[in-house]
Structure 1
Amino acid sequence: MDASNIPLPTDNLPDDEEQSEDCLNLSIRLPPTCLSSDGALRSDAKLPVLVFIHGGAFFLGSANRPYYDPSNLVLHGIQRGTPFIMVSINYRLGVLGFMHSPSTSSLIPENNGLYDQDLALLWVKDNIAGFGGDVDNITVIGQSAGGESISVKTTRSPVFKRAIAFSGTPVTMPSMTPSEHHANFLSQASSLNIPLKNSDGNERSATAIANEFIAADVQKIRELAWVGLPCANTEFFPVDKPSMELTKRGKMAPENWRQRFTPVEAQIVGSTTYDGGISYNMMSRDPSRKNHAKAFEHIAKDMLGDEVGAELCTIYGIKGGMSDPDALQAVCLFESDIGFFAAAMATVEADLIPKTYFQIFDLPNPFDAPIRKQGEFATHTFDIVTLLGGVHEDRLPESYTPIVSAWRDAILDFVVSGKKPCEEYIRDGREGRRGLMVNKDGVREIGEEQWLDNDESRRRRLFELAQRVKGDAGCDVLWMDVGRRFLMKGE
């Protein structure tokens, strides 16, 4: 199910994967450089280290997925003479990683999964030298929920030197407030038939409910509804609601963080051109979701007013009478632009990291999926699995081989020595912003006009509309009040 939603081939995957709460483990892949002639580890190798944090909306996934296998990337590093050590980590997900009640924090604390990641990174920092790694040259890479995790870690005294975040920011998947988490905790307890009131009709304490929750059958806990959002008003998210406006202004970082922490040296922040493809693939299989054009138009006009709502629909060609596949494709393109692309731009525009580079991945996903009937797109997660190599690499078109090789060169140069993949992103509003484009034409540096004025200047028109809606907060209104409302409710 996970692979088909990305989409990737599923015929070469195991039938099932063991689920276990004993999941705090990591995998280390070493090049021969780390071994002496007798097979012993060489602690003097001092190789660069790349740590991978997987995605999955904080409630599914695993670094052990076959399509995340980084062997081909590691081999590429060896063959080009820049060997490195690859570490892939796991962390608790769903209820066990992210459910929380502030009324019983000692039993159900917030952001367990994010602390698991921190623990893994500290383990790498403390132990990787024994495997031949350079503790002063660690880069962390993540995608989707992994990218979001990395974004918040860059401003929290990180143990890594550089960061690469693909298609994941603190606003793409907004966090929940402590009170929202508590309401969800009670709802999930009720789903397990845990009584919320005593026999006398009085409310039970959160501690009593939590103890019953902890004692419940873990398989039933696994089957609960989606619980996968981090908690706000914490050291990871020091605001009520992360937003693009706050991100641009640098307000997502802890107070006085520059005086308290040394920031990472550099970061790459990226987005694919159709990250919304994952929503398309899931929603197109949901028989309860119909009349997408009508639903989106209703939401847009309800939240923005008739005139502005109609203008938004016009930008994406959404109109009555469209087939559901065409309408859903257009809506998910809007999701890509506002929930992923705009969020990534907000991240690179924040004056937090000394050197920041923007990447646009537009290499079409060639594998069959519902969206393939509508066109070719670079879809959510196809970037990271293509970079790592995984089990699908031998099925890619031959024309992709030199492009993927050049892209790996650029990423590994950044990992190994901090070499810039393109010119830095200019944050002060001047013309001439640059970014790295990866598409069928190769790997090259492009200017802002090329990512804003493509496809009838769709993104430029969107961002101008957002400014008219609510200035710097306009993108947040379009994403939270229109995009996410459609995705979550469809009405």
Structure 2
Amino acid sequence: MSDSVAHLRHPQLGILKGRRTNGAVQFLGLKYGVLKHRFAVPEINLASQEQDIDATRYGPPVIYPPESCEMEMSFIQQSLDKPVVPPPSDLEGLNMNITVPLFKGEVLPPKDSKLPILVYVHGGGFTFGSSSYPHYDQSHIVEMAVESGQPLIAININYRLGIPGFLTSEELRKRGHFGTNNGLRDQQTAFKWIKKYIAGFGGNPDAITAIGQSAGAASLTYHLHSREPLFEQCILLGGTFLMMRAGDFQVAEKVYKGVIKDLGLDQLPASEQIKSLLEMNPSDFLQKVTPTMLLGPVVDHDIIPEVASFSNIRDTDQFPLPGRKWCSRLMSVDSEFDGTIMALVNLNAREKGIRAAFQESVRSHPQLQQHTATCEKILEFYHIKDSTSDQDALLRIISFVTDIMFYAPSVALSQTWEKSYLCHFNEGNPWPGLYQDRANHMLDIAYLWQNFNHTLAEPQKAVARVFADHIISFTAGQEVVPSFMPDQRVTVYGPSSQGFSSCFGHMEDEGITARRTALFRLAEEAGGMDVLLNVVSRFLMG
């Protein structure tokens, strides 16, 4: 990567100094949100031309667990060199990186060029993640877009995680200035900042495609509750609000009390507890609070008005979703073995005895206790028998998790959108590790951003190129893959080991899709897909 710089005169922000790559300029660490304190509702950072902006270095990340970047790369099973990044910051972490193409390697896009925008919201279970992770670098896809004749501007953002991002309680809300779902509010503030200022970078504020992975994809589905349009198109990579369902205030209250106890504040009056939360070193959140605390989105009747379910998302009266009107196209991409993420954070540690534990969990589930035959059909469907080893049972349970939490939600959302595109990522992981040769969770973004191409063989690079090319074309408004409805056409990426990079097919073509469509008939016998989702959730909760 070149160390040279480039300058852009932005009509509202002033003169920005960015970092050049081979065919792009990156404006790093641009602050989009202002926080009065760590739990505050974010305010948009308004432009000031008082001084030039040096955007050649990453801004500080938000508070997140140390070594989480290495952990994510271990999920991918391949590492990259980490950039130099400032220490995490409580109040200065709401920043973004904007990658702008260079034409003929020299010329920035004119301010009136109106390029489409691709905005990435990272995953990490609402606990970790940062726009500065090297595997999220967007310079290669921006350069690739120029080469393909469909230039775009790419953006990735930070947002608050963990306790600052999602802690809430009745006591906090009574104070008035404490929001709920602050991490989601941060994301919405970022989209508003982009709409306000992206034209000065040569972008079109009315042509924003939001793309999210895992918790980032789930976040985008939550934003579809917004009455204010935030983006024009949406791409979901392995995540929806069905996969990561919002909790309620009762659950949030229990989490809050657990956090207060872990921090040693439970003997203080409520006002002192809040004062301590505001003033204590944020490292205490990471060092003292139990990592299994369920910090994430909650139904607050504002950002999130109600819990999504398979049964209600089809009903526009029961589950009004304003985004159906302002988000014109939705692409959903699930991976063949997406459930690996639940294995890495939960199931692998429970391998010993997992076959018997899963059988018992299914047979004793309250919604299935009167349906013994159905319980046995579920176990038979995934070939989990008394003779099955724990090692084999673990892989089959991961398949169950994949089907119910990733594949079925991807289909359900695609069925509810007027213009939707259902895609399956089936390329096997090329690197040594637990899930080599399987399309594990997070491999899609490793291929999309092109940052690992130097380690890929040519057939694997071909999958990466066609996947990225389709995302680029979709962002440009092209009809590059077939619509899912009404004929249930799908797009499949890989596996290159079988001699192809991508193909088109029909949802029922299991030989092409590598998906179990009989799952939907099984769900009907069980009383609906929501019952199976509850079965999965209960087992993951232990």
TM norm structure 1: 0.87
Root mean square deviation, CA, Å: 2.5
Q: Residues 150, 284 of structure 1: CA spacing in aligned structure 2 closer, same or farther, 3 A cutoff?
A: closer
Letter in 1 for 2:532: L
Separation in structure 1 between the aligned mates of residue 207 and residue 104 of structure 2, nearest angstrom: 15
C-alpha distance in structure 1 between counterparts of 2:105 and 2:295, whole Å:
40
* Number of the residue aligned with 1:423: 482
| 8 A Cα contact 1:99 1:110, kept in partner | yes
Change over 3 Å in CA distance of 1:172–1:76 after alignment to 2: same
1:463 matches 2:520: yes
Return the match for 1:358 from 407, 417, 422. 422
Q: 1:268 aligns with which of 331, 351, 361?
A: 331
Equivalent residue for 2:491, pick from 419, 425, 436: 436
1:234 aligns with 2:234: no
- Counting matched residue pairs gives 458
Instruction: Name the residue aligned to 1:163.
Output: 234
1:331 alignment counterpart: 397
Tell me the CA shift for residue 138 of structure 1. Answer: 1.4
Distance in structure 2 (CA, Å) of the matches to 1:24 and 1:15:
18
Q: 1:108 to 1:119 in 2, by over 3 A?
A: same
Q: Does the Cα contact within 8 Å between 1:357 and 1:422 map onto a contact in 2? A: yes
Q: Is the 8 A contact 2:161 2:183 kept in 1?
A: yes
Which residue pairs with 1:8 in the alignment?
77
The within-5 A match list for 1:174-185 is 174-185=245-256
Which position in structure 2 is the counterpart of 1:384?
A: 445
Query: Kindly tell me: are residues 116 and 16 of structure 1, through their superposed partners in 2, closer, same or farther at Cα, counting changes over 3 Å?
Result: closer
Q: Percent sequence identity over matched residues?
A: 27
**Aligned mates of 1:447, 1:328 — CA distance in 2:** 29
String of CA shifts for 1:186-212, please: whole Å, max 9, x gaps: 11101111125x6xxxxx44x443222
Work out whether 1:371 is the aligned partner of 2:435: yes
Amino acid at match of 1:319: K
Separation in 2, partners of 1:379, 1:189: 36
Instruction: List per-residue Cα deviations over 1:403-440 (Å, max 9, x = no partner).
Output: 32222222211111x2223332226xxxx311111112
Out of 176, 197, 202, the residue aligned to residue 132 of structure 1 is 202
Post-superposition shift, 1:90?
A: 0.7
The list of structure 1 runs, each at least 4 consecutive aligned residues, that deviate by more than 6 angstroms after superposition, is 14-17, 452-455
Instruction: Give the conservation status (yes or no) of the 8 Å contact 2:429–2:439.
Output: yes
| 1:269-288 C-alpha deviation (Å, 9 max, x unpaired) | 121111011222344652x5
Corresponding residue of 2:133: 65
What residue number does 1:201 align with? none
- SS of residue matched to 1:45: coil
The 5 Å alignment of 1:41-120 reads: 42-105=110-173, 106-120=176-190
Q: Is the 8 A contact 2:450 2:464 kept in 1?
A: no
Q: How far 1:5 moved relative to its partner?
A: 4.9
1:394 positional shift: 1.2
Distance in 2 separating the partners of 1:453 and 1:249: 31
2:356 counterpart residue number: 294
Question: Shift of residue 183 of structure 1?
Answer: 1.7
Q: Please tell me whether the aligned partners of residues 33 and 45 of structure 1 are also in contact (alpha carbons under 8 angstroms).
A: no
SS at match of 1:247: coil
For residues 468 and 56 of structure 1, the distance between their equivalents in structure 2, rounded to whole angstroms, comes to 34
Deviation, structure 1 residue 12: 3.8
1:192-341 correspondence runs (5 A): 192-196=263-267, 204-205=269-270, 207-223=271-287, 224=289, 225=291, 226-239=293-306, 241-250=307-316, 253-254=319-320, 257=322, 262-283=325-346, 286=349, 289-303=351-365, 304-305=368-369, 306-341=372-407
Question: Aligned partners of 1:379 and 1:72: how far apart in 2?
Answer: 22
Deviation at 1:36, TM superposition (A): 7.6
Letter matched to residue 165 of structure 2: G
Amino acid at match of 2:488: R
- How far apart are the structure 2 equivalents of 1:169 and 1:80? 30
Tell me: CA distance 1:266–1:45, structure 2 relative to 1, closer, same or farther (3 Å): same
1:216: how far off? Answer: 2.4
Whole-Å Cα distance in 1 between the matches of residues 82 and 388 of structure 2? 36
User: 2:220 is matched with which residue: 150, 175, 189?
Assistant: 150
Cα pair distance change 1:282/1:51, threshold 3 Å: same
Gapped runs of 5+ residues in structure 2?
1-69
CA pair 246-421 structure 1, distance change in 2 beyond 3 A: farther
Contact kept in structure 2, 1:363 and 1:378, CA below 8 Å: yes
**Counterpart Cα distance in 2 of 1:5 and 1:463:** 33
Query: What's the TM-score, normalizing by structure 2?
Result: 0.79
Quote how far apart the aligned CAs of 1:395 are: 1.1
- State the AA in 2 paired with 1:134: N
1:284 to 1:296, Cα distance in 2 relative to 1, 3 A? closer
Q: What's the offset of the Cα at 1:146?
A: 0.9
- The amino acid of 1:357's aligned partner reads Y
Report the alpha carbon displacement of residue 63 of structure 1 after superposing the two structures with TM. Answer: 1.8
The change in CA–CA distance for 1:324 and 1:250 in structure 2 (over 3 A counts) is farther
| Secondary structure of the structure 1 residue equivalent to 2:186 | helix
Q: What one-letter code is carried by the residue in structure 1 that aligns with 2:521?
A: E
Once the two structures are TM-superposed, the CA of residue 126 in structure 1 deviates from its matched residue by 0.5
Deviation at 1:382, TM superposition (A): 0.9
Q: Which one of 393, 404, 408 corresponds to residue 464 of structure 2? A: 404
- Label 1:27 to 1:454 Cα distance change in 2 as closer, same or farther (>3 A): closer
Contact conserved, 2:505 with 2:513, CA < 8 A, in 1?
no
Structure 2: how far apart are the matches of 1:15 and 1:33?
28
Task: State the SS of the aligned residue for 1:360.
Answer: strand
Letter of the 1:478 counterpart: L
Distance 1:478 1:466, change over 3 A: same
Q: Which residue identity is paired with 1:161? A: E
Contact 2:507-2:513 within 8 A present in 1 as well: no
Q: Please state whether the residue corresponding to 1:30 is helix, strand or coil.
A: strand
Partner of 1:23: 93
Deviations 1:423-458 (A, max 9, x none): 32226xxxx311111112222221011249966xx7
